[in-house]
Amino acid sequence: PTSEQSKKKKKMGKKSSVSVLCFFIISVSAISVSAQDQTCNATDGMFKPNSSYDNNRRLVLSTLPSNVTAHDGYFNGSTGLGPDRVYAMGMCAPGAKPDACTSCINGAARNLLQICLNQTNAFLWLGEEIHCLVRYSNRSFSGLLVLKPYQVYFNYMDIEKNDRKEFDSAWDGFMARTITRASSSVRNNSSNSSLSSSSKYYAKDVAPVPVYGDISVLMHCTPDVSSQDCKLCLESSVDYYKRWYPGKRGVIILRPSCFFRWELYRFSGAFDSATNVTSPPPSPPSSVTNQTNTTKKDKRISGGIVAAIVIVIVVAIILIALGIIIFKRRKQNKANTLQTESVKFDLKTIEVATSNFAESNKLGEGGFGDVYKGVLPDGTEVAVKRLSKTSGQGAEEFKNEAVLVTKLQHRNLVRLLGFCLEGEEKILVYEFVPNKSLDYFLFDPVKQGELDWTRRYNIIKGIARGLLYLHQDSRLT
């Protein structure tokens, strides 16, 4: 419609700062941003800066790069409780090297923090040599097909009108075959790829077309959606191009659940090993239903047959019941694993945050180990407790207790943000409290004067509330 086209032209300049973030603009000077350039979804709600949701968002995004590389290029987890819980997902292109994947995810997460200042729902595709996706929300989106919001980039140049009919015929067939490949749950050029990884719904190809040589296409869906939903997402993008940008020499359509791009040239280094494909063989004729009528014969059903049928039914019911029980247990185990990974920090991140446990960052020491101040990559200040190697606590016991304590959330308790367990290192990461501990004021001849009896009474009430929460209201009881 004319109104939509006018809106697209008005917003072209406003969206240029966002479009620079995507590798598509970097690699193709002829590509232009449309009005649908929506990375931050303001319609799903807003949050206050420095709120619990904001802190959880920064925390889950800061650990996302290491979690994605540790899980075959794809990770889906969450941090926080109740309305402050943040669900996040990260995915890299299949075959991406760990360093490249980490860099891409880290860049996308950092850009989302800078662009989406207080939106509770956002996504961003990013990358050059490899591409990646980072997404977060205040609602669980695992397994759900999400088509909006979406971003559209298109090439200003057009296919010549005299060539359109022949070109479109070849283009339509190639896109249909690529959608089938991408949504088939098996990556054609990797027989041993994990179906839970980023390669589950992925296809890249090159095919010859009349007059213009070759066309290149890349399609990618998130692995949490079903095969049918992946196909629907890609078909929606292809149909959108055919309806609103017919004849354009290339388009990129980005959605929370899928990615679609085609060009008249090879792009982003993703097609160096691709070869031209030939037309598929004709489909086999559909099977014809046998119409031969069989003669009906009256037969008596013996008691043995009845008994056999009953046994088969009983065994089937037992197997179904066992299957349901096993499925629920695996689902619970998977949920526990995701919960553990979402609060786990890698040692390299903590070493960088504390300047390799520098003495200048040391806050104090106690019977269980030393405490250091650290700054995470997203700017969050934390207190890092490096437990003594002679504590005698087992690794599995330490991890279980750390995950359990992270569930505690109360204004009168210092919050445990996560843990690190690598080699002999056992580390706890807490929120940073600038005022230090209470004994810092109680036993200092000068500082104790700052605590009048009104303030001390409020502190006592706060301690009582924290103890009451621990014993009655927390998830540990």
Nearest CA-CA partner of 274 in 341, 406, 181, 398: 181
Q: For residue 192, what pLDDT is reported?
A: 41
At residue 110 the predicted structure's pLDDT band, cuts being 50, 70 and 90, is: very high
- pLDDT of residue 77 exceeding 90, the answer is yes
Question: Domain limits of the chain?
Answer: 38-142, 343-434, 438-477
Across the range 275-290, mean pLDDT stands at: 36
% of the chain at pLDDT higher than 70: 71
Across the range 103-131, mean pLDDT stands at: 89
Which residue numbers belong to the known binding site?
385
What is residue 79's three-state secondary structure?
strand
Which residue numbers belong to the known binding site for ATP?
385
The DSSP annotation for 8-54 comes to HHHTTTTTHHHHTTSHHHHH-TTEEE-TT---B-GGG-B--TTSHHH
C-beta of residue 435 within 8 angstroms of C-beta of residue 428 = no
* Tens digits of residue pLDDT in 290-301: 333 333 333 334
Nearest CA-CA partner of 104 in 14, 23, 171, 165: 23
Cα distance between residue 311 and residue 117, in whole Å? 63
- pLDDT of residue 30 exceeding 70, the answer is no
Q: For residue 375, what pLDDT is reported?
A: 92
What is residue 256's three-state secondary structure?
coil
* Tens digits of residue pLDDT in 423-452: 888 888 888 887 767 766 677 777 777 778
Cα distance between residue 23 and residue 19, in whole Å? 9
Q: For residue 305, what pLDDT is reported?
A: 65
* Tens digits of residue pLDDT in 12-27: 444 433 333 343 333 3
- pLDDT of residue 395 exceeding 70, the answer is no
| Mean of all residue pLDDT scores within the chain | 77
Across the range 403-419, mean pLDDT stands at: 72
Nearest CA-CA partner of 257 in 194, 195, 183: 183
Across the range 48-66, mean pLDDT stands at: 94
Fold match, 38-142 / 343-434: no
Q: For residue 54, what pLDDT is reported?
A: 94
Nearest CA-CA partner of 151 in 13, 260, 263: 260
Cα distance between residue 453 and residue 456, in whole Å? 5
Q: For residue 253, what pLDDT is reported?
A: 92
The architecture (CATH level 2) of 343-434 comes to: 2-Layer Sandwich (3.30)
Using alpha carbons only, how large is the chain's radius of gyration in Å? 29
- pLDDT of residue 260 exceeding 80, the answer is yes
- CATH class given for the domain over 38-142: alpha beta
C-beta of residue 383 within 8 angstroms of C-beta of residue 374 = yes
Provide the token pair at 50: 């420095």
Across the range 234-263, mean pLDDT stands at: 93
Helices 303-342 and 395-405: crossing angle, nearest 10°?
80
What are the angstrom distances between the C-alpha of 83 and each of 79, 338, 449?
11, 19, 40
Reported as type and span, the H/E element at residue 442 is helix 439-442
At residue 410 the predicted structure's pLDDT band, cuts being 50, 70 and 90, is: low
* Tens digits of residue pLDDT in 33-42: 333 344 787 7
Q: For residue 259, what pLDDT is reported?
A: 94
Task: Count Cβ neighbours within 10 Å for each residue of 374-404 and write b for 16 or more, e otherwise.
Answer: bebbeebebbbbbbeeeeeeeeeebbeebbe
What is residue 106's three-state secondary structure?
helix
Q: For residue 189, what pLDDT is reported?
A: 41
Cα distance between residue 231 and residue 181, in whole Å? 9
